[in-house]
Amino acid sequence: MGRFNSMVKGKCPKCEEGKIFESNGNILKLQGPKMHEDCPHCNFKFEREPGYFFGAMFVSYGITTAEAIATFVAIRVLGIEMSVDLMMAIITAVMLIFLFPNFKLSRILWLYLFTKKHRTTPIDAASSEAQA
């Protein structure tokens, strides 16, 4: 499976088999997505140190800002006339709708950014002979 596909599916960045999140969360019940502490397949510890995902907040901020700007531009391009208050309400609604997906995406991106994939296939014979 390709690394991008594994990232989109929320798989472990180390083995690309185990799931990072055990639940998606439910915005109606105000329950956020829950992460596994370790990969269920390879036991890779996702939060390597306290505060590891602090940087993922900035990634989430960037994604949310991009969504807000895209919503604003879409409203303007479509030529929909509305008050500033209504436009802000729509942008806020879009930001709230994507709250949990952004949370998950930012953490997954943060993990993939700083984790090398575990090599599961042996190095080809030619390169191993060259090392000997």
∠ CA 78-82-83, rounded to 5°: 145
Cα→Cα distances 5→1, 43, 73, Å = 7, 21, 29
Buried b (16+ CB within 10 A) or exposed e, 25-63: beeeeeeebebbeebeeeebebeeeeeebeebeebbeeb
pLDDT digits (tens, 9 = 90+) for 6-40: 888 888 888 888 899 988 877 777 788 888 888 88
Q: What is the Cα gyration radius of the chain?
A: 20
Residue partners of 106: CB distance under 8 A and separation at least 6: 56, 57, 59, 60, 63
pLDDT digits (tens, 9 = 90+) for 67-122: 999 999 999 999 888 899 999 999 999 999 898 899 999 999 998 888 877 665 54
| 126 pLDDT above the threshold of 50 | no
Q: Which residues pair with 35 in a beta bridge?
A: 21
pTM value? Answer: 0.77
